[in-house]
A and B are shown apart, each in its own frame.
Chain A
Amino acid sequence: DQQVKQNSPSLSVQEGRISILNCDYTNSMFDYFLWYKKYPAEGPTFLISISSIKDKNEDGRFTVFLNKSAKHLSLHIVPSQPGDSAVYFCAALDQTGANNLFFGTGTRLTVIP
């Protein structure tokens, strides 16, 4: 059973607008969350993370929001740029466990110039 879900396989956004990528999780023990970005023919690269003691973490154009009660997190990219076009993976882990990451299936973001 998938513990981390990204229900939107794809998203298209106009350049300059906001991109919102969503992620849901089922395991209430997850307390640390990461977003990865993947270009074709490359491995995933770390983008931004958030601990469950926070509800928001911002890094430049990227902001991650965490809603623990809803078991939901989202990644906001603003303004979106064509170079942001990639597949974005959400990942979660239980810091008291084996520290293994559980990944979602990814959302392909296309930013239209």
Chain B
Amino acid sequence: ETGVTQTPRHLVMGMTNKKSLKCEQHLGHNAMYWYKQSAKKPLELMFVYNFKEQTENNSVPSRFSPECPNSSHLFLHLHTLQPEDSALYLCASSQPGQGDYEQYFGPGTRLTVT
């Protein structure tokens, strides 16, 4: 495996379910990100982790709970979501510093909340 992988690729869940999205990066990066992409909206940054520490929480509702056990893995735990949370959830990683700002994205998880 290379790059950034995300599982599952598609997820349908009811509003009372609890599920988790997983992201893994094989690039040796120290920073990982969760983004939300809704239709006709820009990618919205949700969470940032640097060296496993959360450095950014962009006013995300508590029904989204991130977890970063190590620099290679990132999870997004979901519970009691709303239909408006249906979106594409993208994970990314980067190696901050040295003027390199490029983020590498996974393929995303298409989430539908029913």
Contact = CB atoms under 8 A, between A and B. Distances in A.
Interface of A: 2, 4, 9, 32, 34, 36, 41-46, 49, 89, 93, 95, 98-106
Given A43-B90, A49-B102, A98-B55, 19 more contacts: A32-B101, A34-B102, A41-B9, A42-B107, A43-B6, A43-B92, A43-B105, A43-B106, A45-B105, A46-B102, A89-B42, A95-B99, A95-B101, A98-B48, A98-B56, A100-B48, A101-B101, A105-B40, A106-B42
Given A32-B101, A43-B4, A43-B90, A102 B106 contact: no
A99 B43 contact: no
Ranked nearest first, the 6 interchain pairs of A and B with the lowest CB-CB distance are A43-B105, A103-B43, A103-B42, A46-B102, A44-B105, A43-B107
A4 B42 contact: yes
Interface residues of B, number: 23
B66 interface: no
Interface of B: 4, 6, 9, 40-43, 45, 48, 55-56, 90, 92, 96, 99, 101-108
Residues of B contacting A: mostly? loop
A36 B90 CA distance: 14
A7 to B, nearest CB: 12
A63 B2 CA distance: 28
Contacts of B106: 43
B48 A89 contact: no
20 contacts: A4-B42, A32-B101, A34-B101, A34-B102, A41-B9, A41-B107, A43-B4, A43-B107, A44-B43, A46-B102, A46-B104, A49-B101, A49-B102, A89-B42, A98-B48, A98-B56, A100-B45, A100-B56, A101-B43, A102-B42
Contact of A93 (B4, B92, B101): B101
A69 B39 CA distance: 31
